[in-house]
Amino acid sequence: MTSSSYWAEHAWLGDRVADSVLIDVADGRITALTEGAEPGGAARLRGLTVPGLANAHSHAFHRALRGHVQRDKGTFWTWRELMYRAADRLTPESYHELARAVYAEMALAGVTAVGEFHYLHHAPGGIPYGDANAMGHALVQAAADAGIRITLLDTAYLSSGFGEPPNDHQLRFSDGTADAWAERASALKGDANTVIGAAIHSVRAVPADALHTVATALDGPLHVHLSEQTAENEACLRAHGRTPTRLLADHGALGPRTTAVHATHLTEEDIALLGGTGTGVCMCPTTERDLADGIGPAVDVQRAGSPLSLGSDSHAVIDLLEEARAMELDERLRTHRRGHWTAAQLLGAATAHTALGWDDAGRIAVGAHADFATVALDSVRTAGAGATAEAAVYAASAADIRHTVVGGRHIVRDGVHTLIDDVPAALTAAIRQVIEA
């Protein structure tokens, strides 16, 4: 048995802040919490320690686009063409290097688990690698090397639109049929650091008669891009006479293990379907505003019964605290009213590990995974804000993460990654292979 202990100056325990908390850890889990304790020989976490942040929606290779796709005007669809060009240049080796650096950036931002929405499966032209899951294995190894947990959401991507075959770029994404996708994805195995789940890329990329196969092939979480664009809704109505949400419901793809990503353009019936089935919704505010997608009805879907999570998606920003406050602030702009969620609720969405199949994470409690992050309270952003959930959500940023602990391992100590010497240099080198090759 491996054991360690941490002393948190202040700790968020889900409904309150406790002071001077000794956190005992054995075999990666919290075994005891003692409030008002002396630090003794424990590792000291100065600031406000919160549960590890859960990045519920990631496309790791999109990180290479930051600063490159913001130069000109355009739409989601023109942005997508630039994204395809970056994807065309990746190999299992270069994807591992890029993802390792991206996940290290996430660790520096307090993220302890990532949901990787993975659809870049094959070599250019759609030719399988010798290891059919070489790209997925590269991502799993990258997360382990960066010290964070991963939920690999192996994604079915079979068509370029309703009734249309994949285009040349998308051949790398496609297995041809849902059964072939299921056979390949079923060969992936989880471990102590990895959960394997599935994803329906979108209703435009998975034909209706394949939705049930994808939804039921694997036992883990199921994610789906849903109604991110009004054009998708309009095309679905033309093809099937129903909304994407109704189409998913009719094919058994909604339910408590499903998370709908974006869910930006929903009807009242869509909202009722998602909430009534307990389907989760992952909001990605920084990407949604970067791509001018719109503001999703987060308040309404939560009120209807959908649990909320957050993701950084295209990684225009990797900052789950910013995603949390952006969800509230965007809603304020839309409604001209304040206070749609408490800071505690927003922090809960930023730590929603259940969306990723890590049911024993996302809280500082005995028996839970020892995954937590410490927010500095003495930076120029947080000074004077106090040790509160409001300070974490409304004052702090990713730059204020001082410590990140995953499974009891001190991955980020005093703002420095303990496994990767120079994360900015690693990012620069990996991105150059994609953007400047």
DSSP E strand stretches across 343-430: 372-375, 401-406, 409-413, 416-417
Q: Is 262 an active-site residue?
A: yes
Q: Which residue type is seen at 34?
A: T
Report phi then psi at 312, rounded to 5. -100, -5
Q: Which residue type is seen at 37?
A: A
Report phi then psi at 177, rounded to 5. -135, 160
CA distance 260 to 147: 27
Strand order in the sheet with 401-406: 29-34, 17-26, 3-12, 43-51, 372-375, 401-406, 409-413, 416-417
Q: Which two tokens stand for residue 181?
A: 């996708």
Residues 193, 196, 197, 202, Cα dihedral to 10° = 100
Query: 262, 353, 369, 403: which is the annotated catalytic residue?
Result: 262
User: 161 has which bridge partners?
Assistant: 164
* C-alpha distances in Å from residue 137, one per residue of 50, 121, 143, 152, 358: 30, 10, 10, 9, 19
Q: Which two tokens stand for residue 283?
A: 């909001």
Query: 313, 319, 371, 400: which is the annotated catalytic residue?
Result: 313
CA distance 340 to 335: 10
CA distance 370 to 24: 9
CA distance 7 to 215: 43
Q: Is 404 exposed, middle or buried (0-12, 13-18, 19+ CB in 10 A)?
A: buried
Report phi then psi at 316, rounded to 5. -55, -30
CA distance 154 to 118: 5
Query: Annotated catalytic sites, by residue?
Result: 262, 313
